């Protein structure tokens, strides 16, 4: 959607039910997405998250780097969002 040439893949949405959090479900799902992208020849990934999301730390623990911040606006609603990037998916498939 954003068309960032440095990041070929984009993870649009990633949600884990609260009762399933802190059980390794998110990590397993995220790593399976990275593996699938890599198998498909996509070696980098970017995703956007609400800047005030208390679960942003998950992406940092998974090796993501803050790439960009901007204001997201749609139909009178606006909120600050942050992009995380993984420039080399293969490097991030190491055991966490």
Each residue of 6-37: pLDDT tens digit?
899 998 888 899 899 899 999 999 999 999 99
pTM: 0.84
Neighbours of 57 (CB within 10 A): 9
Dist. CA 86–CA 34, nearest whole Å: 10
Query: Does the pLDDT value for residue 85 go beyond 60?
Result: yes
pLDDT band at 2; cut points 50, 70, 90: low
| 70 or 94, higher pLDDT | 70
Confidence of residue 50 (pLDDT cuts 50, 70, 90): very high
Please say whether the beta carbons of 30 and 62 come within 8 A.
yes
Of 74, 58, 73, the residue nearest 84 (C-alpha): 58
Residue partners of 9: CB distance under 8 A and separation at least 6? 37, 42, 44, 45, 46, 89
């Amino acid at each position: 959607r954003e068309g960032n040439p440095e990041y070929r893949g984009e993870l649009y949405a990633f949600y884990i039910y609260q009762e399933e959090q802190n059980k390794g479900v998110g990590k397993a799902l995220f790593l399976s997405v990275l593996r699938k992208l890599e198998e498909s020849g996509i070696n980098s990934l970017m995703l956007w998250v609400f800047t005030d999301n208390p679960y942003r730390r998950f992406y940092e623990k998974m090796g993501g780097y803050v790439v960009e911040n901007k204001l997201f606006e749609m139909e009178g609603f606006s909120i600050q969002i942050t992009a995380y990037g993984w420039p080399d998916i293969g490097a991030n498939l190491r055991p966490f």
